[in-house]
Amino acid sequence: MNSPIQLQPDETFILNVGPQHPATHGVLRVKMEMSGEYIVSAETVIGYIHRMHEKMGEIKTYPQFLMNLSRMDYLGALGYSHGHVLLVEKACAIEVPERAEYLRVVMVELNRIASHLFWFGAFVMDLGGFTPLMYALQDREHILDMLEAVTGSRLTYCYFRFGGLYNDVDDQFITAARTFIPRMRKSLKKYRRLVTDNVIFRKRLTGIAPLSPEMCRKYGASSAVARGSGINFDVRRNEPYSVYPEFDFDVPVFHAGDSLARYMVRMEEIEQSLRIVEQALDKLPDGPVMAAKKPKLIKAPPGDYYQAVETARGSFGIRLVSDGGKTPYRLKLRSPTYSNMHLFDEACQGMLIMDALAFMGSLDLVIPEIDR
Amino acid sequence: MSLTLLNVIAAVVIAVGFAALNAAYLVWAERRGAARIQRRPGPNINGPLGLLQPPLDGIKLMAKQLTIPGGADRALFIAAPVLAMFPAIMSFVTIPFSETIVARNMNVGVLMIFAFAAMGSMSLLFAGWSSRNKYAMMSSIRAVSQAVAYEIPMLITTITVVMISGSMDLMEIVRQQSGSILHWNIFPIFGNSHNLLMPFSFLIFFTCTLAETNRAPFDLGEAESELVAGFHTEYGSMGFGLFFMGEYANIVIGACLTTILFLGGWNCPFGLFPGVWWFLLKIYLLIATFIWIRWTFPRTTIYGLLNLSWKILIPLSLFNLLFTAGLLKVF
């Protein structure tokens, strides 16, 4: 890569990328001060689809708020619901049957794979390759079909309940999931040959936008953004929740910190998620999927509760302050993309616009999740 | 005199018809090809195999309003799409499809095609400049720097071929490649090329054709993920249609030129009768390769593209030229 030229302040112009620009994948706006094709400074402007999810959390009862979580991140919705139900179950001390917890993990991991596949396709499309998106969407379609058969929806699931699940899975789902795993592994091999080992693809990502671990910590980055910079942190392993300690899986960490490292982490995570699904299906216990003892009216005792989960986009934190009423006193959602995105302003300085937009793609931004 | 005039008019009409039909149906071929690569059906509703899609698209585009953005340079804005289509059509006039089918053969055919190809980048510059859109402006600057960078190795490689055949007449260049497949310019040693580096010349020329026609992986001018739609961001209606058709007409020209200079033009590879079908087969195979490459590779970067040209292709083609000149002196 060439080094940026010396920039004169009077030679710059403002370029408005978004809120309807094809690279921002949603309604994110980036105000870029440009010198030719080089970015002098950038400012991300958010809030175009702010829907007041946190306020809704305060005025809706606990079960009413269940469906809000999946509207935050439409690609990896189940991970967010998982955090919410775990938090409320912790607050109300509801015992969840083991089968329900295993099935939750299966669903969340399948959803994570679907989310990563969509990101993979969209990211390669940002780099100008359109075909991998179609392949990725076809693989994702299998997951969506499976999830639709069980949960009833394809995108904005409302499957988890306090104390268990909406319904049990059938044999058809188990068979479909088992046949999906080898098929996905085959696809991953194909992606490696088609995309990862492509010389143009590698040249465009290697060494682009290296993020230091310090910078990731400063902005609170998580997910592949942090793990691509050598920060070995995954909530599933570092602060175990649900039945994750039962499974044997690796946390992929790359130290280069560039766009390629972030890409590699996510592709490796698909494989790890497949491993978790495989083990969970093997160990799947019998039994009910709904807690036998559950309060009729969910009311969290007064107190301050917190639950972090690893979603497809990073560590999602949800904090509940309760005064013992029907609705929470305060519900704070810590969305991972919000932190990941704010890296962009600092990291893209001096970069070429096409590298900067490839870097933005590698951050895996889902705008509704930033704006909430 | 009047017969000559009639000839010229007929030639132009046939050239325009061929260019327009090719442009329209290459869009269809591209969409079908892309669909096949991406495991989806592609356009298949209108007519058998979706063959009525291009005329219907044309009707749709013509029925739309041509909006001109406020503050745009109206004259240039309207001139740019015309300029995109016109040089490509003019180039068809001199391309020999077979020994007999050529609209107007001239002894400086190569020169004329390159002169018109250079005009093509002017239309991109006009479009980008007159649109008053920052994306279009950036895109046209990219496209022009790309065109400059890739015309040089392309021309140098062409000079190599011209030196071997000793003529700028396209028909003469093809005639010298007749006999057998080994006489084609792409193959080294046999024929009259006597040049070991000819396959590399072909590769350089092919790469430059891709870049010159703004095709992926060198489609930086219309990098949709960065520059929205590039130089034709502000164009709608048939203005956009003309840019589109111009792009495809340029692809046909590029494939024709590659076939004539390197693949023996209308000559048959097996020593069967030569003819126009062989020429068409060769250019459509090349175009299929263009489509295949476009839907397989991601886009390069602008610096990667310019580095490739200035640091690799130009020195290589210069060396090739020197080598060929030396060989011609020796043999």
pLDDT per position as a tens digit, B201-219: 888 888 888 888 877 777 7
What does R_g of chain B's alpha carbons equal in angstroms?
Answer: 20
Q: Do B39 and A21 touch (CB under 8 A)?
A: no
- Per residue in B125-163, pLDDT (tens digit) is 888 888 888 888 888 888 888 888 888 888 888 888 888
pLDDT at A5: 55
- Residue B91 scores a pLDDT above 70: yes
Question: A3 lies in a domain?
Answer: no
Reported as a pLDDT band with limits 50, 70 and 90, residue A224 is confident
Report the distance separating Cα A153 and Cα A81, nearest Å: 14
Q: What is the mean pLDDT of chain B?
A: 81
Section A230-255 average pLDDT: 87
Question: A307 lies in a domain?
Answer: yes
Write the CATH number for A62. 1.10.645.10
Contacts of B133 in chain A (CB under 8 A): none
- Per residue in A30-70, pLDDT (tens digit) is 888 888 788 888 888 888 888 888 889 889 888 888 888 88
- Residue A245 scores a pLDDT above 60: yes
Determine the residue of chain B that is closest to A357 in CA distance: B226
pLDDT at A200: 85
Task: Decide the pairing of beta strands A160-161 and A164-165.
Answer: antiparallel
ipTM of this complex prediction, to 2 decimal places? 0.79
Residue with tokens 């299906």: A281
Question: A7 lies in a domain?
Answer: no
State the burial class of residue A347 (Cβ atoms within 10 Å of its Cβ: 0-12, 13-18, 19+): buried
pLDDT at A113: 92
Contacts of B40 in chain A (CB under 8 A): 134
Contacts of B38 in chain A (CB under 8 A): 130-131, 134-135
pLDDT at A7: 56
pLDDT at A118: 92
List, as ranges, residues 351-370 from A with C-beta within 8 Å of B.
Answer: 352-355, 357, 361
Residue with tokens 């003529």: B167
Q: Do A22 and B40 touch (CB under 8 A)?
A: no
What letter does residue A105 receive in the DSSP assignment? H
CA A135 → CA A105, A187, A358, distances in Å?
Answer: 25, 9, 20
What are the tokens at B108?
């400086």
Q: How far is A253 from chain B (nearest CA, A)?
A: 26
Q: How far is A200 from chain B (nearest CA, A)?
A: 6
Report the distance separating Cα A346 and Cα A38, nearest Å: 14
Worst-scoring range by mean pLDDT, A156-160, A271-275, B248-252, B324-328? B324-328
Contacts of B312 in chain A (CB under 8 A): none
Number of H helices, E strands in chain A: 14, 8
Question: A8 lies in a domain?
Answer: no
Reported as a pLDDT band with limits 50, 70 and 90, residue A117 is very high
> pLDDT: is A25 or A51 the higher one?
A51
Q: Do A353 and B219 touch (CB under 8 A)?
A: no
Percent over 90 (pLDDT), chain A? 12
pLDDT at A6: 60
For residue B136, count other CB atoms closer than 10 A to its CB: 28
- Per residue in B21-40, pLDDT (tens digit) is 888 888 888 888 888 888 88
What are the tokens at B264?
């023996």
Q: What is the mean pLDDT of chain A?
A: 86
List, as ranges, residues 35-64 from A with C-beta within 8 Å of B.
Answer: 37
Measure CB to CB from residue B299 to each of A2, A21, A128 and give the nearest one. Answer: A128
Contacts of A124 in chain B (CB under 8 A): 298
Question: A42 lies in a domain?
Answer: no
Domain of residue A98 covers 53-340
Report the distance separating Cα A360 and Cα B92, nearest Å: 44
What are the tokens at A54?
């946190």
- Per residue in A130-158, pLDDT (tens digit) is 888 889 998 999 999 998 989 888 888 88
List, as ranges, residues 1-20 from A with C-beta within 8 Å of B.
Answer: 1-2, 13, 15
Determine the residue of chain B that is closest to A32 in CA distance: B134
What letter does residue B310 receive in the DSSP assignment? I
Q: Cis before residue B217, ω within 30 degrees of 0? A: yes
Q: Do B298 and A124 touch (CB under 8 A)?
A: yes
Give chain B's contact residues with A (Cβ, < 8 Å). 34, 37-40, 134-135, 138, 142, 216-217, 219-220, 223-226, 228, 295-304
Question: A278 lies in a domain?
Answer: yes
pLDDT at B2: 63
Q: Do B134 and A203 touch (CB under 8 A)?
A: no
> pLDDT: is B99 or A285 the higher one?
A285
Contacts of B145 in chain A (CB under 8 A): none
Measure CB to CB from residue B302 to each of A127, A131, A354 and give the nearest one. Answer: A354
Residue A284: which of A148, A149, A174 has the closest Cα?
A174
What letter does residue A96 receive in the DSSP assignment? P
Report the distance separating Cα A182 and Cα A175, nearest Å: 12
Q: Do A354 and B216 touch (CB under 8 A)?
A: no
Q: How far is A130 from chain B (nearest CA, A)?
A: 7
Determine the residue of chain B that is closest to A353 in CA distance: B226
What letter does residue A68 receive in the DSSP assignment? H
Question: A289 lies in a domain?
Answer: yes
- Residue B1 scores a pLDDT above 60: no
CA B221 → CA A14, B74, B127, B230, B238, distances in Å?
Answer: 20, 22, 12, 6, 20
- Per residue in B60-84, pLDDT (tens digit) is 888 888 888 887 888 888 888 888 8
Altogether, the residues listed in chain A come to a count of 372
Contacts of B217 in chain A (CB under 8 A): 128, 200
- Residue B168 scores a pLDDT above 60: yes
- Residue A2 scores a pLDDT above 60: no
Contacts of A4 in chain B (CB under 8 A): none
Tell me the one-letter amino acid at A315. Answer: S
Report the distance separating Cα A86 and Cα A306, nearest Å: 10
| Interface size between A and B, measured as CB pairs under 8 A | 79
CA B250 → CA B23, B145, B187, B246, distances in Å?
Answer: 9, 18, 26, 6
Altogether, the residues listed in chain B come to a count of 331
pLDDT at B36: 86
Reported as a pLDDT band with limits 50, 70 and 90, residue A1 is very low
**What is the model's pTM?**
0.86
State the burial class of residue B293 (Cβ atoms within 10 Å of its Cβ: 0-12, 13-18, 19+): middle
Question: A222 lies in a domain?
Answer: yes
User: How is chain B split among helix, strand and coil, in percent rounded to 5?
Assistant: 70, 0, 30
Report the distance separating Cα B243 and Cα B86, nearest Å: 10
- Per residue in A304-314, pLDDT (tens digit) is 999 999 988 88
Residue B254 backbone dihedrals phi, psi, to 5 degrees: -60, -45
Q: Do A198 and B298 touch (CB under 8 A)?
A: yes
Q: Do B301 and A357 touch (CB under 8 A)?
A: no
Reported as a pLDDT band with limits 50, 70 and 90, residue A114 is very high
Q: Which residues contact B104 (CB under 8 A, 6 or more apart)?
A: B7, B8, B11, B93, B94
| DSSP codes joined into one string, A160-199 | EETTEESS---HHHHHHHHHHHHHHHHHHHHHIIIIIT-H
Could you tell me the end-to-end alpha-carbon distance of chain B, in angstroms, rounded to an integer?
A: 45
The domain tally of chain A equals 1
Q: Do A135 and B39 touch (CB under 8 A)?
A: yes
Pick from A25, A30, A130, A198 the residue to mutate for testing the B interface (most B CBs within 10 Å).
A130
CA A192 → CA A138, A189, B150, B289, distances in Å?
Answer: 17, 5, 31, 22
Residue B38 backbone dihedrals phi, psi, to 5 degrees: -95, 10
- Residue A173 scores a pLDDT above 70: yes
Q: Do B298 and A127 touch (CB under 8 A)?
A: yes
Reported as a pLDDT band with limits 50, 70 and 90, residue A3 is low
